[in-house]
Amino acid sequence: MSTTFLRRARGAVVLGMTPVLALALAACGSEAGSGEAAGDGSVRMLVNITDNLTQAKWEELVKPFEDESGIDVKIEGPSGQSVAESFPSLLAAGTAPDVIESIVPGPDTAPEVLDLTEYDWASGTPMADLYSTDGTINVVGVGMQAQSLMYYNADLFAEAGITEPPTTWDELDDALAALAAQDVATPIAFASDWATGVQVQEIWHPQQNVATPGWQQSVADGSSTLGDQFQPVFEHVADWIEAGYTTADDVATDSGTQEANFIAGDVGIYPMGSWFSTTLAASPPDFEVGVFAPPVDDAAAAPGPMGATLAFPYMVWKGTANPDGATALVEYLTTDEAAIAAQAEMDSFSREGLEPSSNEYAGMVQELSDAAPSYVVPGNQTVGDYALPVAGFNPKFTELVQGLWQGRSPADVAGDLTAWYEAEKLG
């Protein structure tokens, strides 16, 4: 390699630096295109693709609608990591889908989705009132997915002498101590990424909503702070970390692996939403599984309100070229009995009047949901009248709460959460 060549190469590096790094800039600078006209009468639907919700199952779900209406439904998976990430990108590119599944309107996307209030069928869908904003319905679903659930290994509980699932925080602490005394590898399991934040919120929903009903509104109007809302649960988790019931390895282990650990019998208690019952049904453990509601401080208040999310939430893009076809598809998915039953098979949820599932684990979840005094919108899916005026709550919550496993104090984590909220709500 000659010196002259290298000099030229160096020059090329310097000149090339701008376009190379400009890739990052170009990502922000791309010009919005015009909307993709669905002139062929088809409807594009952006959906969540998971192990339970496969492309083939989605296509099977919409097939009867296509046959009856003559409308071709094109199923699309997210182009990014998730539907939440893909939808704003597609809006920016001018190629938004007609129907969006799995997310709810946020502060930025709410003006972009169709108001469904005028459709009679929309108000009859589950949780329509809880997810509305000032009476306006812009997202509808097929049922309720319980979030406040603690799956437990009943065999390990019996060996540890725990005769009844805990109903108070003191009883939960005693149960964890008993499991640890029995040398259970992981008395309570948390997982990495999004799961850490969701799990900590899940176990706190009941007591949080007993103490401060509608806590999101209290935070939004300034009568409470995010830090005050969550510091008590941070203290519980910090105590468990100190006692060794959960370790830093937990929050570096993905949720799929932790679920496998539970099924393998290495975990005493695993906090997770109702969708885990579908995983359990697919790979039944060789021990007895139980489910209990997260505890409250006072046994008289048990069970507390159930953190719940809208199952299969659907929105229609306001700019759709085929609003009639798009709304007809959403009406079919949320009101047709066969379509609802098919979705319940894909990912279990609760709904009044729905035939009991053959999935025994989903049956236990249903019992807990029926016993809950009320359903509450969790923090990681703030929506409608219960929306926090900030974006990115769960990722930030997860990042901060993982600090507990690195030795940060609950007060510091709570303080940072409040500081983040105060900075973010200002935009």
Residue 41 near another protein by CB under 8 A: no
Q: How do 289-292 and 150-153 pair as beta strands? A: antiparallel
Of 7 and 63, which CB lies nearer to another protein in the complex structure?
7
User: Between the CA atoms of 109, 112, 118 and 122, what dihedral angle is there, to the nearest 10 degrees?
Assistant: -40
Other beta carbons less than 10 A from residue 123's beta carbon: 15
Helix (H) or strand (E) holding 333: helix 323-335
**Which three-class secondary structure state does DSSP give residue 109?**
coil
Q: Which of 171, 193, 235, 412 binds another protein (CB under 8 A)?
A: 193
Q: Cβ distance 283 to 263 under 8 Å?
A: yes
Of 19 and 124, which CB lies nearer to another protein in the complex structure?
19
* Strands across the sheet containing 375-376: 143-146, 306-311, 375-376
Other beta carbons less than 10 A from residue 49's beta carbon: 17
Instruction: Select from 395, 305, 319, 427 the least CA-distant residue to 98.
Output: 319
Other beta carbons less than 10 A from residue 270's beta carbon: 26
Q: Which stretch binds another protein (CB under 8 A): 9-17, 164-172, 231-239, 320-328?
A: 9-17
Residue 412 near another protein by CB under 8 A: no
Residue 24 near another protein by CB under 8 A: yes
Q: Which of 155, 345, 385, 424 binds another protein (CB under 8 A)?
A: 424
Binders in 90-119 for another protein, by CB under 8 A: 91-92, 94, 106, 108-109, 111-112
Tokens of 147: 């979030």
How far is residue 49's CA from residue 349's CA, in Å, rounded to a whole number?
17
Residue 37 near another protein by CB under 8 A: no
Q: Which of 363, 399, 409, 412 binds another protein (CB under 8 A)?
A: 399
Beta bridge partners of 307: 376
Instruction: Select from 235, 174, 225, 171 the least CA-distant residue to 200.
Output: 235
Q: Which stretch binds another protein (CB under 8 A): 49-57, 138-146, 149-157, 401-409?
A: 401-409
Q: Cβ distance 38 to 98 under 8 Å?
A: yes
- The minimum distance between CB 107 and another protein, in angstroms, equals 8
- The minimum distance between CB 402 and another protein, in angstroms, equals 4
* Residue 102 backbone zone (phi > 0: left; psi -120 to 50: alpha; other: beta): left
How far is residue 37's CA from residue 92's CA, in Å, rounded to a whole number?
15
Binders in 153-192 for another protein, by CB under 8 A: 192
Binding string, residues 355-384; x marks residues near another protein by CB under 8 A: ------------------------------
Q: Which of 77, 265, 319, 389 binds another protein (CB under 8 A)?
A: 319
Q: Which stretch binds another protein (CB under 8 A): 89-97, 122-130, 149-157, 332-340?
A: 89-97
How far is residue 45's CA from residue 339's CA, in Å, rounded to a whole number?
16
Residue 264 near another protein by CB under 8 A: no
Q: Give the binding-site size for another protein (rule: CB under 8 A).
A: 64
Residue 282 near another protein by CB under 8 A: no
Residue with tokens 């540890």: 160
- The minimum distance between CB 416 and another protein, in angstroms, equals 7
Residue 338 near another protein by CB under 8 A: no
Q: Which residues bind another protein (CB under 8 A)?
A: 1-3, 5-7, 9-10, 13-14, 17-32, 85, 88-89, 91-92, 94, 106, 108-109, 111-112, 192-193, 247-253, 257, 261, 319, 391-392, 395, 399-400, 402-403, 405-406, 416, 419-420, 423-424, 427
